[in-house]
Amino acid sequence: MRVSVLLATASGTYNASHETLKDVSVFEPLAASLEAQRLPPGVSIEVVVVDSLAGQREPDAMAFLPPGTVYVRAPEEWCFKNRLRHHQADKNAALASATGQVCYMIDDWCWFDHDPDHLARILDYNRRGYFLGTLYDWRFGDDPDIETPFQGRDWREEDWPRGKEWLGGSDPMKPPSFGVQAYSRAAVLDIGGYDEAYDAGSGFGDLDLGIRLQVACRRKLALDKEHKIRHQRHGPQDPDVVSDDVIKCNRALYFARQRLAEGGALDPVVNKPLHPAIVEVLNSAQCMFCSAGEQCDFPYRGEVHPQFQEWLANLPNYDLRRYASALRKQRRLRRRDDGAQA
């Protein structure tokens, strides 16, 4: 059994948001967390990092990557070239590069070194038939990050029907899916991975993955009160790589897809042409599904972004499983050639 721990990053090398973290590199939390883990016999860890700043990191920071890390340059697709958010594409590149039966996607600046059974718990839930999500302990230095919008609001005591576990629910439209999530690699490849239509926008890609996982397979997502990750507040992504601009409203995309699911018309497989009903919603310049009112953070409310049609024409259309198989074949050929040269 192999667990692949995946990180897609576009953050600067050092965390300038807090005095105690200014000399901590982006890869140190991951290295410290993995070193602390107690794993069952026969279980190994694979680390896959997809980095939008590959080739620009200081050598001291790179030294924290565990030996054998699969280090991948972020794919230079349309969003990357236009300095738009491309996190879903990077996550798919990590999935395609992974070989573990179980994958654990984490975020920048996340620690779980306080929990030596963190990965073992993921495997236990997987054996029981659940994909385990991770609760956030938002931090600013050593203190609770009370300014983070979601601090203390994600899952309160009253949200738990019994005990320390939340084992899915009858409503697949309300998955406990966050940015830090475990799942079987096979299940995610079956549904095309993360939906890259959420790139060039803000948020909702993780929730969408949770919905499609529960629609497509018999496993439910789960939460455990003891399964938490310390998430440090950090600065924005490198502005030379990712700007703050957004092409369309991801809230509209999410609720349009949710409506399709409720009507039984949702195809859980993504990264192929969008359903016409979703395109109509995104191109309408007025989101009829938006429940946020004036709190909506989409800056182009009431109008269509000038790059919308170009974004639409460059949406990905590929099979993630075939892409992963091609990568494995390339690696086998590279190892064979390296062996022959040696």
CATH number at residue 177: 3.90.550.10
Beta carbons within 10 angstroms of residue 108's beta carbon: 21
- 225 pLDDT tier (thresholds 50, 70, 90): confident
Confidence of residue 172 (pLDDT cuts 50, 70, 90): very low
pLDDT tens-digit map of 230-272: 888 776 677 888 888 888 888 888 888 888 877 777 788 999 9
Token pair for residue 295? 């709190």
pLDDT at 153: 44
pLDDT at 301: 65
pLDDT, residue 139, reads: 80
The pLDDT assigned to 151 comes to 42
Mean per-residue pLDDT over the chain, rounded: 83
For the segment 96-110, the average pLDDT, to the nearest whole number, is 94
Bridge partners of 5?
A: 47, 104
Assign 177 a pLDDT band (cuts: 50, 70, 90). Answer: low
Tokens standing for 144?
């609770």
Pick from 147-156, 209-218, 248-257, 328-337: least confident: 147-156
Q: How far apart are CA 177 and CA 195, in angstroms?
A: 14
- Cα separation, 85 vs 236, in Å, equals 12
pLDDT at site 24: 85
Query: Does 281 or 91 have the greater pLDDT score?
Result: 91
DSSP characters for 148-210? STTTTTSS-GGG-SBTTEEE--S-TTS----SSEEEEHHHHHHTTSS-GGGTTS-S-HHHHHH
Q: Per DSSP, what are the bridge partners of residue 137?
A: 230
The CA-based angle 109-114-115, given to 5 degrees, is 105
Tokens of 297: 């953070």
309/300: higher pLDDT = 309
What pLDDT score was predicted for residue 173?
47
Report pLDDT for 94: 96
- Percent of the chain scoring above 90 in pLDDT: 40
Task: Choose the weakest-confidence range: 99-108, 157-166, 263-272.
Answer: 157-166
Contacting residues for 145 by C-beta, under 8 A, at least 6 apart: 138, 139, 151, 232, 233
The pTM score is 0.90
Lowest mean pLDDT among 26-40, 87-101, 125-139, 255-269: 255-269
Q: Select the highest-mean-pLDDT range: 201-205, 233-237, 303-307, 320-324.
A: 320-324
Specify the number of domains making up the chain: 1
* pLDDT value at 70 more than 70: yes
The domain of 289 spans 2-147+155-341
The helix or strand, by DSSP H or E, that contains position 224, with its residue range, turns out to be strand 220-224
pLDDT for residue 189? 96
Rounded distance between C-alpha atoms, residue 142 and residue 155, angstroms: 21
Report the pLDDT value the prediction gives residue 91, as an integer from 0 to 100.
96
Round to whole Å and give the CA distance between 182 and 135.
12
**Type of residue numbered 135:** L
- Alpha carbon distance 315, 332 (integer Å): 30
